[in-house]
Chain A
Amino acid sequence: MRDLPIYLTMMLAAIRAKMEYRVTFLFLFFALVTFYLGQLGTVLVVIDRFGSINGWTLGEMAFLYGLMVFSQSITTFFFASLVNFEGLIMQGGFDRYLLRPLDPLPQLIASQFEVSSIAHLVIGVSALVYGAAGTDIAWSAGKVAFFFVVVAGAVMIQGGVRLGVSAICFWTMRNRSLVHILVFSSKEFILYPVSIFNYWIQVFLTLVFPLAFVNFYPSHVFLNRDASNLLFSPLIQYATPVAGVVFFSLAYLLWRAGINHYQSTGS
């Protein structure tokens, strides 16, 4: 980690580079805020109609949504360059990272900054604050600490998705449709409490594609919800950090295998 200052310098450069386009920056920012307010609005309309969704009140839903968007903001901050990894492979840009005395992954992390990460931050924090105010969460020091551990775990899960999907490029060159399905559209699953889905989808979102750990399970801890009916064990509400470490590690193994394959086939 003695290279950390170098990566920080690169990250700052990436932010400065984005600031070159102030107008684009502002337009994108407002477009994204509008989009997410619309998404939130849809959820609110549904709740307004039915009073609650599967026993989740308005405030609780806002918290659930906030946790998803807030962790997505941090994921986007670190893993923005992996969204268009296909372009980097096809145009040979990835080779440049292999021609430097550094590891390719942190270079990628430090190479791009996305404005959407700030938009997500604003939306996510607003939804969390609104949700926390609309429910009677008793914030103890322990809960605050656990909140940050949960966010770290949620970032590792979402970052792991991006990393794993990018790694596939090393074999297939292209991954754009996978990015759209697995990175973006899949978020629809955790817009609502995962408990609304049937058993097998819940299993899928827990063991295979573990997005349920991003917001659904840990919200039970913060909102003091009854966890006795959760999949497998009530302890699963605390398991996000573990799930994050395991999932990210698996994605990283796939990534390493991908780089080895790339270096041994030059596709």
Chain B
Amino acid sequence: MSEGPLVVVDHLSRHFTLTESRPGFWGSVTGLFSRATSVRRAVDDISFSLEAGEFVGYVGENGAGKSTTIKMLTGILVPTSGTVRVGGLVPWESRRENSRQIGVVFGQRSQLWWDLPVRESFDLLRSIFRVPEGRFRENLAELDDALELSPLLATPVRKLSLGQRMRCDLAAAFLHDPKILFLDEPTIGLDLIAKDHVRSFLKRINQTRRTTIVLTTHDMDDIEALCERIVILDEGKIVYDGATESLKRRYVREKGVVVEFHGDPGVVTLPDLPTVRVEGEGAKRRFSVPVDSVGVATVIAAVAARFAVKDISIHEPKVGEVVKRIYDDPASLTRPEPGP
């Protein structure tokens, strides 16, 4: 295998031509001959690369261009312009060969045979991907250990719960040892325990097999729990690509300090720290601390010096809140970072 990134996306664009139908009967008749068209840039000149073993969150609002990108990376869709290399292959030119090195899991659609026992679906996939018998058995043993599949193998897929089905679908995607796994909403509709199960499996497989994982999700807790890197897409363009942690650091201008007092302290002010806002009433108050100018420890010390404090907790904004702020105001990313 050649050295260098496993996936290279270079100035990739995908435009769709939309036809606008005119209203009324006459509109649909004339529409047969000529239609007004407009172009939508679903993916608009994006570039990034992925190293082997990376775990990347690929996020954006509905229609931001996430699944269009995934379709091009998996060879289902041909781009308007730009190139993609996955393990050295151009996916849409070598669709079949590419399919051997990728695994794809759609949260909403199973790739298993609905009416057959899980075990039979696995056997079929073994044939389809020509997995050697020995390798298949090793993989199944490992996946069984991680996902507790044994009790499910004899059950027809239609009788599985959503969480059980997702475990089986994840296993199915790994049977042919893909180098890259594309996950589309793998935790959608799952309860907390099932979500946790899926997340710990993904973490484990990413570490033990060094499988590159691209996770598309609306669940920011998934991203926070799993992805070291996050790529944020907005209207077809990449608006952020970098470490999940530094996104937080860059965006978190305020931290919250919630203080519970012994009894109601009445009016609470911190005269020495005028930039700190105080909210709430009664025995529990929240201090919003602008981290650029004031240290959280300073605030805690100032509060404790003046009042009888029962309990203190510090709230850091979650990735989800940060990403939401970016969706609301994408331009905020291009503004220069606030100085120290």
Chain A residues with CB under 8 Å of B68's CB are 266
| Interface-lining segment among B108-116, B287-295, B301-309, B326-334 | B108-116
B142-164, CB under 8 A of A: which get 1 and which 0? 00000000000000100000000
Query: Do the beta carbons of B129 and A264 come within 8 Å of each other?
Result: no
Chain A residues with CB under 8 Å of B124's CB are 9-10, 13
Chain A residues with CB under 8 Å of B92's CB are 263
Chain B residues with CB under 8 Å of A17's CB are 113-116
Does A182 touch B at the CB level, under 8 Å?
Answer: no
A88-102, CB under 8 A of B: which get 1 and which 0? 000111011011111
Chain A contacts with B in 1-17, Cβ cutoff 8 A: 5-6, 9-10, 13, 16-17
CB distance from A75 to the nearest CB of B (A): 23
Chain A residues with CB under 8 Å of B247's CB are none
The residue of chain B having its C-beta at the shortest distance from the C-beta of A19 within the complex is: B115
Does A185 touch B at the CB level, under 8 Å?
Answer: no
The 8 Å CB contact of A96, one of B77, B109, B120, is B109
The 8 Å CB contact of A263, one of B78, B104, B116, B156, is B78
Chain B residues with CB under 8 Å of A21's CB are 115
Q: Which residue among A9, A93, A101, A263 has the maximum number of chain B CB atoms within 10 Å of its CB?
A: A101
Query: Do the beta carbons of B77 and A263 come within 8 Å of each other?
Result: yes
Does B197 touch A at the CB level, under 8 Å?
Answer: no
CB distance from A106 to the nearest CB of B (A): 11
Chain B residues with CB under 8 Å of A95's CB are 71, 76
The residue of chain A having its C-beta at the shortest distance from the C-beta of B100 within the complex is: A101
Query: Do the beta carbons of A264 and B109 come within 8 Å of each other?
Result: no
A95 to B92, CA, bound (A): 13
A265 to B102, CA, bound (A): 22
A265 to B74, CA, bound (A): 15
Does B96 touch A at the CB level, under 8 Å?
Answer: yes
Chain B residues with CB under 8 Å of A188's CB are none
A246 to B156, CA, bound (A): 42
A265 to B17, CA, bound (A): 8
Query: Do the beta carbons of A13 and B113 come within 8 Å of each other?
Result: yes
Does B95 touch A at the CB level, under 8 Å?
Answer: yes
A102 to B96, CA, bound (A): 6
With A20-B156, A101-B96 as contacts: A96 and B111 at CB distance below 8 Å: yes
The residue of chain A having its C-beta at the shortest distance from the C-beta of B75 within the complex is: A98
Query: Do the beta carbons of A99 and B74 come within 8 Å of each other?
Result: yes
Query: Do the beta carbons of B114 and A266 come within 8 Å of each other?
Result: no
A265 to B68, CA, bound (A): 10
For chain B, give the interface size range: 20 to 34
A246 to B274, CA, bound (A): 85
A99 to B91, CA, bound (A): 10
CB distance from B108 to the nearest CB of A (A): 9
Query: Do the beta carbons of A102 and B115 come within 8 Å of each other?
Result: no
A254 to B8, CA, bound (A): 34
Does B99 touch A at the CB level, under 8 Å?
Answer: yes
CB distance from B105 to the nearest CB of A (A): 10
* Residues of A within 8 A of B (CB-CB), count: 24
CB distance from A123 to the nearest CB of B (A): 26
A95 to B17, CA, bound (A): 21
CB distance from B145 to the nearest CB of A (A): 26
Chain B residues with CB under 8 Å of A16's CB are 116, 120
Chain B residues with CB under 8 Å of A266's CB are 14, 16, 68, 71, 76-77
CB distance from A12 to the nearest CB of B (A): 10
CB distance from A102 to the nearest CB of B (A): 6
CB distance from A169 to the nearest CB of B (A): 16
Does B30 touch A at the CB level, under 8 Å?
Answer: no
Chain A residues with CB under 8 Å of B156's CB are 20
Chain B residues with CB under 8 Å of A100's CB are 96, 99, 128-129
Chain B residues with CB under 8 Å of A93's CB are 109
CB distance from B183 to the nearest CB of A (A): 13
The residue of chain B having its C-beta at the shortest distance from the C-beta of A98 within the complex is: B76
A98 to B104, CA, bound (A): 11
Query: Do the beta carbons of A99 and B99 come within 8 Å of each other?
Result: yes
With A20-B156, A263-B92 as contacts: A99 and B116 at CB distance below 8 Å: no
A91 to B110, CA, bound (A): 12
A10 to B129, CA, bound (A): 12
The residue of chain A having its C-beta at the shortest distance from the C-beta of B97 within the complex is: A101
Chain B residues with CB under 8 Å of A265's CB are 16-17
Query: Do the beta carbons of B120 and A13 come within 8 Å of each other?
Result: yes
With A13-B116, A96-B111, A266-B16 as contacts: A101 and B99 at CB distance below 8 Å: yes
CB distance from A112 to the nearest CB of B (A): 11
CB distance from A195 to the nearest CB of B (A): 36
The residue of chain A having its C-beta at the shortest distance from the C-beta of B125 within the complex is: A100
CB distance from A261 to the nearest CB of B (A): 10
CB distance from A103 to the nearest CB of B (A): 8
Does B313 touch A at the CB level, under 8 Å?
Answer: no
Query: Do the beta carbons of B104 and A99 come within 8 Å of each other?
Result: yes
Does B127 touch A at the CB level, under 8 Å?
Answer: yes
Query: Do the beta carbons of A99 and B109 come within 8 Å of each other?
Result: no
Chain A residues with CB under 8 Å of B128's CB are 6, 10, 100-102
10 smallest A-B Cβ distances: which pairs?
A: A17-B115, A101-B96, A266-B77, A20-B115, A264-B78, A101-B99, A98-B76, A6-B127, A9-B127, A263-B78
User: What are some 14 contacts across the A-B interface (CB < 8 A)?
Assistant: A10-B124, A17-B114, A91-B109, A92-B109, A95-B71, A96-B109, A96-B111, A98-B76, A99-B111, A100-B128, A101-B97, A101-B129, A263-B92, A264-B77
Chain A interface residues toward B at CB < 8 A: 5-6, 9-10, 13, 16-18, 20-21, 91-93, 95-96, 98-102, 263-266
